[in-house]
Structure 1
Amino acid sequence: MPLRRPHRLSLAALAGAAVIALGVAVPAAAAPVPPVGPSVLTETAAAELVPAVTAAAGDALAGTWFDDGRLMVGVWDPAPAAVLGALGATPVLREGPRRDPSAALRALGGRTAAGLPDGLASYGIDPRTEQLVLDVVEGPDAGRLAGELTAGLDPAVVRVERVPAVPRRQAAVSGGDTISDGSRRCTAGFAASDSAGDWVITAGHCLRGSATWYAADQSTIGSGGRTAGDGVDVGAIPVEQGSASPTVAGTRVRGTSVAPVGSSVCLHGSTSGRSCGTVQRTDVTVNFEGEQQSGLTAVGACAREGDSGAPYITSGGQAQGVHTGAGGSGNCTSYFTPVRTATSALNLTLTTG
C-alpha cells in the first residue's frame, strides 16, 4: 500500500459546530504547579510509581506520562500537588474548566460500535494534553468525516490529526525467518505457559488458517495453536516443554510493569530487528483495513511486514505487548496489544526469568 506523509489537523469550534481547520494550534492544556521537589526517575522507577500517584491524585487525576526523567501527573485541583511531589512525581495543573476525554472516548466508541469508517485510522486518549486524538486518513473527505465523528463533543477535548493511510497488520507472505507456516512469516513473541505446557505468543491474525510453524532452519516449532476472541489480536503456538526461552533478543523478561506514555520501549521484529520509540497513547482503537481493534497501545517505532507477533519490551525487561500492525508516515506508528491483555485473553501465564 503506498504511503503518503501526514499533516496535522486541529479541531476548533465554529458557530456552535465542530469544524476541522488546518494549522490551528491546540491551546496549552496544562501549567506546572510550583515545584515541590520533583525527582529524576528512571523509566522503570516511573512505571512502578504510577499506581501510587494514581491513588494519591484520586478524582483530580488528569493523565500521567513520562518526560525527561520525570513522571508527570496532570491534576485538575492543586490540592494533591504536595503529596504527589513527595512521592517523587511532578504535578501539572490543567488550565481551564475540567474536561473528560474518557466521556468523549465512550461517545466515539458508541458511534463506531458497528464498525470504523474507512477514513478513521485510530483514536485514543493523549494523557499529555488530556485530549481524545483521532487519526483521520488525509483526503478530500477527511474534514467531513472528522466533523461527523466529533459533532457535539467538547472541542477542547478533541484533537484531529491526519495520517497517510489506515494501519496494516504485518504478517508477510514469505518464509524462513523466525516463525513461518510455509507461506507467511511472522515473529515469535513472549514465552508463556499453562497447565497443559509451554506456548509462544504471537499475533492472532498470523495463526488463522495455519497448522504447523517452523523456525528459520525449518525445524518444527509447534503445530496447532489457539487465538483469543473478542477482537484481541493474539494467539499462541504450543511448543515442547522448556523450548521457549523467557528472553527477548538477549534481554530477560522480568515482569509486566506498564511503561507510561513518554517512556521508551523496543519492538524486536523478525524483519525490522530492534526498533525503539516512545509510547504515544494507550487504549487506542485502530482501523485495520476495515476491522476494528480496541485497547491497543501506540508507539513511535517503525515496523515492517513480517513483524506481526513481535514482542515489545523495556530496557529493564518489562514485557509491554505483542505487535499487531503499523501505520503513519513510513509505518512508524506501531500498535501492540498489551501483554496483560494478551495473557488474560489466552488464559496463559507469562514466563519470566
Structure 2
Amino acid sequence: MRKNMHRTSAVIAALTLVAVTHVVGTADAEAITPSRPSSTDSADPALDRHIVGFRHSMGLATDASRMAAAQRAQNASEELFGVPLTDAEYRELAFRQTVVANDAALSRSAVLDRFGPERLAGVWMDNQEGGQLTVGVTGQVDAIYQFLAGRVHHPDRLTVRRMQSSMVELEKVARRIGVRAPEHMNLGISGVKVDERANVVRVLARHDPARVQDWLSSWLQTDAEVRVEQGAVTPVGTQYMDSPPFRGGQQIESLSYICTSGFVASGGGRDYVVTAGHCGRAGDAWTQVVHPIGVADRSDVTNTDAMRIPNGWYGTNEVTLSYDPDFGGYYRKITSSQSSANDAVGQISCITGKNFGGLRCGEIITRGYSVNISLEDGRTLTYTNGREVDADCNPGDSGGPALYGKQARGIISVKVTRFLANDTCVYVHIGPALNQLGLTDVRTTPGGIL
C-alpha cells in the first residue's frame, strides 16, 4: 500500500498512563465511608464530576433539574451503574446493556462470516445517539444492514455506518507500531490503541508527538489514520481493609507494594487470589490486614497483567464495594464471568479499588489498548487487548475488579490521565488473564474455609 503522510497527525493533548500500584510507605488519607455509599449525599467534588461525566458520556441531560430528579428516584441505578438516575434513564441504560449482550457479538461474527474481515470496521454502542448499536463497515452498507436486521434481536436499535478502514487493517497497524516501538525507546512510545468509533489508531508519546509522527511517516505505509497524542504509561490496591473470608476488591500488601485483590479464581482443585501482575513477582508473600494470603506462584506481564496467589484461608464469590470497621461491609456476589468475545465499545463496565468506596462506572472506550512500559523491577508490561473504560482509578487500585452487576469482567491495570479530558482506566479482560495464569473460573459460589 502507498505511504499516506496526511493520515498521520499529531494531536497535542497532555495525557499520562499510570499503572495503579501503590508503593508501600506512601501516606493514605482515610475517611469514614458508609457501608453502602450513596452519591446522593455526596459533597465530594470528584464524585460530582464523575456523575456529570457519566451522564454526558451516556447522552443524558446534566441540568440541575434532571440531576435533582435522579437523586430523588428510588431504583437500583447506583447499585448497577454507580450513579443516581431517573427511572426512565435507568431502564434505558439497562436496556442498552441488553442490546449489547444480545447483538454485539452476533453482529460482529455475522459480518465476518458473510462479508469477510475486510468489511468489518467495528461494533459499538453509540450512547451519544440514543443508544444505537452501530456496526462500522467499509462498504455494502445497505446489504449488510438488511442482512443484520433479519438476524439481530433488536433491529430498531441497529445502525450500519460506512467507515474508512477495517478492524483488520487498524489492528495490523497497531501491531506493527507495537513491534517496532521497543526498538526505539528514545521516542517514548508508551501505548497504542484502536479507536473503533473514530476509526483511527491512537499512539501515546511521552515527550514529542511531532517526532513520533515523523518516525511513523518514514516507514508506516497505510491508508489507516494514525493520530499521535502526548502521554505516558506507568503502572498503578480498597479504602478500608477487611478480614476473612477473603473477597475481591480488598487492599492487599507485600513488602514493597499495596494493591487490590481482583477476584478469587479456581484451578487445579484449589483457589487463588487474582490481582495485577505488575504488583509483584512470583515468590512475593502477600497479606490482607494481618492475615497471610500466600506466596505468589505466577506473575505475568507479557500479553496480560495478572498474578495468582494461592489462598490458604477462605474463598468466596464476593467483591467488596466498601467497608467500615464500625458498620461492616457492602459486598457484591459474583455469579458469572464475561467471555472476551462478548463485550463491545460503548458497553458499561464498573471498577472498584483501594482509593474509593462503591463503584465507578463508564463506557468501554476501546477493546484494544496496547501497553508497553518498563517496570521498576526490570520487567516490561506488554499487552494489546486492554479495555479502556471511562472511569478513574489511582495508584493502589491495581489488580482491583472490573465488573458489571454480578458479572466479572477484568483486572485493573493502568490509569490514563488527561489534562483536557476525563481520566480513564484500563483493565485486562478476565478471560485471557485466567487462561494465561492456568486458571479456569472465577469463583461463583459462596465457598468457605479451605
State the SS of the aligned residue for 1:80. helix
For 2:252, the equivalent position in structure 1 comes to 179
Structure 1 segments (4+ residues) deviating >4 Å: 95-99, 115-118
For 2:396, the equivalent position in structure 1 comes to 306
- Tell me by how many angstroms 1:303 deviates: 1.1
Residues 236 and 282 of structure 1: is their aligned pair in 2 closer, same or farther, counting only changes over 3 Å?
Answer: same
Residues 322 and 348 of structure 1: is their aligned pair in 2 closer, same or farther, counting only changes over 3 Å?
Answer: same
For 2:337, the equivalent position in structure 1 comes to 255
C-alpha separation in 2, matches of 1:113 and 1:310: 28
- Map 1:281-292 onto structure 2 (within 5 A): 281-289=366-374, 291-292=380-381
Question: Is 2:299 the counterpart of 1:245?
Answer: no
Question: Is 2:326 the counterpart of 1:233?
Answer: no
Whichever residue aligns with residue 435 of structure 2, its letter is S
Whichever residue aligns with residue 225 of structure 2, its letter is V
Question: Is 2:157 the counterpart of 1:103?
Answer: no
The answer to whether the Cα contact below 8 Å between 1:181 and 1:210 also exists between their aligned partners in 2 is no
Q: Name structure 2 gaps, 5 residues minimum.
A: 14-93, 243-249, 322-330, 446-450
Superposed CA offset, 1:280-331 (max 9, x none): 11222123347351222222221111111111111x3222211122132279
For 1:221, the equivalent position in structure 2 comes to 293
- Tell me by how many angstroms 1:188 deviates: 0.5
The answer to whether the Cα contact below 8 Å between 2:276 and 2:399 also exists between their aligned partners in 1 is yes
- Tell me by how many angstroms 1:221 deviates: 2.1
- Tell me by how many angstroms 1:143 deviates: 0.4
Q: Percent sequence identity over matched residues? A: 26
- Map 1:38-57 onto structure 2 (within 5 A): 41-57=95-111
Superposed CA offset, 1:39-77 (max 9, x none): x94314413422211122122221011123332111222
For 2:235, the equivalent position in structure 1 comes to 169
Identify the match of residue 93 of structure 1 among 147, 157, 161: 161
The answer to whether the Cα contact below 8 Å between 1:104 and 1:157 also exists between their aligned partners in 2 is no
Superposed CA offset, 1:55-107 (max 9, x none): 22122221011123332111222211013233125232215586831232232
Q: Name structure 1 gaps, 5 residues minimum.
A: 1-11, 24-39
Identify the match of residue 135 of structure 2 among 73, 79, 82: 73
Question: Is 2:208 the counterpart of 1:149?
Answer: no
The answer to whether the Cα contact below 8 Å between 1:259 and 1:320 also exists between their aligned partners in 2 is no
The answer to whether the Cα contact below 8 Å between 2:107 and 2:148 also exists between their aligned partners in 1 is yes
Identify the match of residue 133 of structure 1 among 187, 197, 202: 202
The answer to whether the Cα contact below 8 Å between 2:5 and 2:217 also exists between their aligned partners in 1 is no
The answer to whether the Cα contact below 8 Å between 1:124 and 1:285 also exists between their aligned partners in 2 is yes
Superposed CA offset, 1:214-266 (max 9, x none): 223x122223432236343211111137x222222333322214431112211
Superposed CA offset, 1:108-140 (max 9, x none): 233225465552231111111222111223x4x
C-alpha separation in 2, matches of 1:150 and 1:64: 28
Identify the match of residue 323 of structure 1 among 412, 429, 438: 412
Residues 46 and 132 of structure 1: is their aligned pair in 2 closer, same or farther, counting only changes over 3 Å?
Answer: same
Residues 302 and 73 of structure 1: is their aligned pair in 2 closer, same or farther, counting only changes over 3 Å?
Answer: same
Whichever residue aligns with residue 146 of structure 1, its letter is Q
For 2:352, the equivalent position in structure 1 comes to 268
Residues 21 and 188 of structure 1: is their aligned pair in 2 closer, same or farther, counting only changes over 3 Å?
Answer: closer
C-alpha separation in 2, matches of 1:171 and 1:289: 20
Larger RCO, structures 1/2 (Cα 8 Å, 6+ apart): 2
Alignment: residue pair count: 316
Which is helix-richer, 1 or 2? Answer: 2
Structure 2 length as normaliser, TM-score?
A: 0.63
Provide the alpha-carbon RMSD of the alignment. 3.1
